[in-house]
Structure 1
Amino acid sequence: MDKIVSFIIPSYNVEKYLNKCLTSFLNLEVLDLIEVIVVDDGSKDQTAQIARNYIEQYPNVFRLISKENGGHGSTINVGTAAAAGRYLKVIDADDWVITENLKEFVDKLAVCTADVVLNPYHQVDMMTGEKTVWKMFLDQYETIYTLEDVVRNWKNFDRCFAFHGICYNREFYQKHRYELPEKIFYEDHEYTTIPCSYAASIYPMDLYLYQYLVGNAEQSVSVTNRLKRMSHVEKVTEDLIRHYNAHPEFSGAAKEYIYKKTEGVILSYYVAGCIMNPDKKAGRRDCVRYNEMIRSLNPEIFSRVRKKYQIYEWMNRFHVSLHLYEQLLHSGLYNKIRNNQKIETDS
């Protein structure tokens, strides 16, 4: 039987988490319609053996690809190339899906032809179990939207144009295939931006699937790792701007989509440099150098983010803490400013 969706599981030393992830796919109503591809990125623990255990029990569902360590992007490259389903969705090995929602998800994909499918998702705190909702704000779901519709109503869509919310039609993805950089963190921004910039049809569902675990100090989004990997954000920013520059033939909507996604990466760098870095002068110097790179690559993009940088620079000079910054993000004042498009969150 043809597979409707391929779930790709990037895996590196995830023996603590992988059982929960793989077990979440065991919905008997869909096992003939899905494949789950574990891409073991040179793990040193029992990751591969755990995957083999599932293959022994469900050989028509689970697959294992073992490779030398190349980083998260390399596992997506390998997994998407091997996938056979009509659609592709990547689920990190320390995350999982809502088992009972798989049937509805697969049924909807079975009759879907859109290039890109979006779903809301939950962010789950690993210490408390508290769930934060990341969703769209649409009057109508399960209808086709274009990139023109998306950028015109960006704040209604933006939170689900993320790694955890996006699902690609496999033929569309292979047609516009982009090899993600190896051994670079935050390359998921490229995964959700570059192929999607070609999309002619986008199909949002009001159905939760992805469960994104947060609170692990080993994660790339932790403060320590964000400061340590500033150069990775620089690389991703450069890749996105070069993609923007390389396609003058793109529609205004496609260019604006790339810009909005790139801007989110840029603002995340400002947060790390201006707010998270305890050495305020050093963080400011990093941002000045980063801004020069942006300006040299595309003066128009730099002009659009410059005023927003000035706000982060002001917070840096007044030693605004990360805690206070997060309070400001949730304040009525911030929301008023955000609605006036003077400052945006780095998500």
Structure 2
Amino acid sequence: MKKILTVTVPSYNVEKFLENTLDSFVDERVLDDIEVLIVDDGSKDKTAEIGRKYEEKYPDTFRVISKENGGHGSTINRGIGEAKGKYFKVVDGDDWVDQDGFAELIRRLKTCDADYVFTNYYEVNDVTGELNPVTFPEIRKEEQMPFEMIANETRISMHALVLKTSILKENQIRLDEHSFYVDVEYILYPIPYVKNVIYFDIFVYMYRLAQVNQSVSMLGYQKHMQNHIDVIFHVLDYINAYKEKADYDKLKELYMARRIAEMVHGQVDVFISFGSGDKVIQKKFKEFDAEVKEKNAYVYEKSGEFSGMLRLLRKSGFRFYSLIVRLSKVRNG
């Protein structure tokens, strides 16, 4: 039976969470319509062993793919290469799906032909259990429309996204390996090839938050700062290459550029978090900003709109770095 959806589950040392993740797919309403690829990224714990139990019990749905460690992007790349479903979704090995919402998604995908599908999701506080709903009220519901109609309206995250597998395969979409923060590549790299989108007003993904060691915590950003910078520049290079293509679309370029301007703003916060006395960070910050300007003037200007402190630093030529950073930290508590 042809599968409607391939779910790739990037899994690295997630024995604590994986059963909860995989159990959320064990639903008679969807088992025949999905394939779940548990991509074990060289785990040192029982991740693969847990995955094999599901593979043995539900061989037509679950499959374990064990590989050498290559990072989050490598697991998605492998999933894309192995996928047989019409659509493709990523659910990390420490997250899960709401069963009713997921069943409804599969029901709707059976009659859907949009390239880019997105849904609501919950952010789940791992400590308190509190749910924060993430929705897209600015977008018309249940209506297929050209991508350009949402290009100025919304900011889509990986947790919301379902993509047509053929777009990923035929255009050889590949993410950086051995790197954090590649979610934005997964979101943006397909956009030049996306013709239409649809928003289903249902809650599907359950995104676990508040783990101290998460890469999206400030400590994580500090530790993996170079990964974050590399992804920014790789996507800027991708945007610049896209501008030279015959099927170039200005709205798509600006959508991607705005997302990267947001990442630049985030990187500014990371630099500031180190404090005012680190001369190495100050030098790296100044060099980073100069390279952004060289690569993409729009992203450079837009990131300045997002950050008043960045505008001050630029106007001063970074001469008052220590003072501006101290004032910023006082203002932000």
Q: Given that residues 143 and 204 in structure 1 are in contact (C-alpha distance below 8 angstroms), is that contact kept between their aligned partners in structure 2?
A: yes
Q: CA offsets per residue over residues 216-248 of structure 1, 9 Å max, x none?
A: 122111221111111111110111110111022
Matched, 1:294 2:292: yes
What does 1:68-87 align with in structure 2 at a 5 Å threshold? 68-87=68-87
Task: Describe the superposition over 1:241-275 as per-residue Cα deviations: whole angstroms up to 9, x where unpaired.
Answer: 1011102231111111111221121111112112x
Distance 1:124 1:224 in 2: 20
Taking only aligned residues, the RMSD between alpha carbons, in angstroms, comes to 1.8
Q: Quick one: which amino acid aligns to residue 22 of structure 1?
A: L
The residue type equivalent to 2:182 in the other structure is E
Distance 1:313 1:44 in 2: 46
CA displacement, residues 285-327 of structure 1 (integer Å, 9 cap, x when unaligned): 4332211111122233213323434435767341426xx74x9
Equivalent position of 2:321 in the other structure: none
Note the 1:1-347 alignment, pairs <5 A: 1-138=1-138, 140-152=140-152, 154=153, 157-158=154-155, 161-248=156-243, 249=245, 250-274=248-272, 276-279=273-276, 281-282=278-279, 283-312=281-310, 316-320=325-329, 325=332
Q: Is the 8 A contact 1:38 1:51 kept in 2?
A: yes
Cα separation, 1, equivalents of 2:118 and 2:89: 10
The offset of 1:21, in angstroms, is 0.3
Q: Which amino acid aligns with 2:169?
A: Q
1:199-221 deviations in Å (ceiling 9; x for gaps): 11011110110000011122111
Q: Is the 8 A contact 1:177 1:195 kept in 2?
A: no
Q: What is the Cα deviation at residue 66 of structure 1?
A: 0.5
Moved more, 29-38 or 129-138: 129-138
The alpha-carbon distance between structure 1 residues 237 and 4, as it changes in their structure 2 partners (threshold 3 A), is same
- Unaligned regions of 5+ residues in structure 1, if any? 328-347
**Does structure 1 conserve the Cα–Cα contact (< 8 Å) formed by 2:276 and 2:325?**
no
Residue segments in structure 2 that go unaligned for 5+ positions in a row: 313-323
1:39 shift after superposition: 0.3
**Conserved 8 A contact 2:257-2:298:** no
Distance 2:302 2:211 in 1: 34
Matched residue SS, 2:181: coil
Cα offset for 1:56? 1.2
Question: Which is further off, 87-96 or 163-172?
Answer: 163-172
SS of the aligned residue for 2:150 comes to helix
Q: Which moved more, 1:225-234 or 1:8-17?
A: 225-234
CA contact (8 A) 2:6 2:34 kept: yes
Does the aligned pair in 1 maintain the 2:73–2:175 contact within 8 Å? yes
CA distance 1:259–1:47, change in 2 (3 Å): same
| Shift of residue 18, structure 1, vs aligned partner | 0.3
Q: What are the Cα deviations for residues 121-153 of structure 1, in whole angstroms up to 9, with x where unaligned?
A: 11111000011111101363111222321123x
1:301, 1:102 → 2: CA distance?
36
Contact 2:36 2:63 in 1 (8 A): yes
TM-score, scaled to structure 2: 0.90
- Paired residue secondary structure (1:84): coil
Partner of 1:338: none
Deviations 1:17-72 (A, max 9, x none): 10000001111111100111000000111000000011111111100100000000
Secondary structure class of the residue paired with 2:214: coil
Q: Which amino acid aligns with 1:189?
A: V
- Write the deviation string for residues 68-90 of structure 1: whole angstroms up to 9, x where unpaired: 00000000000111011110000
Residues 7, 164 of structure 1: alpha-carbon distance in 2 compared, 3 angstrom cutoff:
same
Q: 1:19 & 1:199 partners in 2: Cα distance?
A: 34
Measured after TM superposition, the shift of residue 278 of structure 1 is 3.6
For the residues of structure 2 that align with 1:239 and 1:139, how far apart are their CA atoms? Answer: 29
